[in-house]
Structure 1
């Protein structure tokens, strides 16, 4: 009886109206889903663009540091050569090296840069997955670039760890053959690291260039001239690269 009454009621309905209502409901659901997808796509696109902007800013900082290093690299090697020549030319007692100082009571015989290259934007891009939306070629280029940073950080840390000990060369040390050899060995080790870092800094510029994210060169020159290492080299008449040459990329 219940089934018959239901069938009778259905027969009494306006099937056209029912069909229209179903179409309207279905269309509403589809439109809502499409709007949700559109909003999600817009949000994701904004996230990707934010990642791109953050990476561009981070790479600009890398570029500035790389240019600074390559400008002052001849100055670094000149300092090292002077220390080596002093040790080799000294007799049984070391001819003390001059000690330099800064306004904030820092004393040294060797002036080295100590920049730390940030990787926050890259790590965030990998973590949130936005890097996957980048062109594969660009993604590989950026991955290769950021793979250089740990090695650079390690070498800079080694240089910074050794540099304070060089202040010992400001004293009249007795130089028996063993002591002289140990000092020269440390000097040559730091010389080799500086030379390798100079090449790596050129690779950094090359990577940023290939990624299409080279910043304005004027900013790198302006910042370099504000850094202590550049001021030291200029004040003491030590050799430096021209900015034009320093900004030349060294292909990987």
Structure 2
């Protein structure tokens, strides 16, 4: 479903600030696979997501989604294949529009041209049913402006909107990092439920190693623009945070503590 081949990217080449963000990354995700990605700041995690989303282009390598080479495709064009939830709860919704209007935009994505703002009884019923799955009471607040919702409510709505059109790939970019522990736990639970319910192929970046171990079917660790560890579901189920730190030390010959991961 997602194939990343020999992906490389250097920022500020030929200058004193030159930095190799990605070094020949190779990663394949099968249909319905849920991969969590960990690594310290600057490891290349978000760069990979931005390459898949089309926000950045690689110097070398290719990105293939569902058999289609999208490497040079603009982000707004490949958006029909990709859903994304950002770290900032404000980023995935339109605050001056109502919940219903936001849902209408998400529903229209990839279906037809235009904003598709008209909401008839059939679509409204669909929105209510989808919102009920969040168990936040938002199905009773369709006319509420999204800007009046809490951060946790907005992020839950963003997650629902990103998956409404059943994207080929779902990208989660530290989407619980800005939330308090209670709301982060809620959004994590909803993430797991939605991904499993729709069998979505998912790539999730997180600094939280406990979350990375709890969610998903596979875990990869990145460092200095490379994938240095790749755990399948069985190996991941037996792994601990202490074990992950030990693996990093064994592979790279350097110490890494959980505070570094959580920066």
Check whether TM > 0.5: no
The structure whose RCO (Cα within 8 Å, separation 6+) is larger is 1
Question: Quick check: which one's helix share is greater?
Answer: 1
TM-score, normalised to structure 2, is: 0.25
Question: Quick check: which one's strand share is greater?
Answer: 2
TM-score, normalised to structure 1, is: 0.26
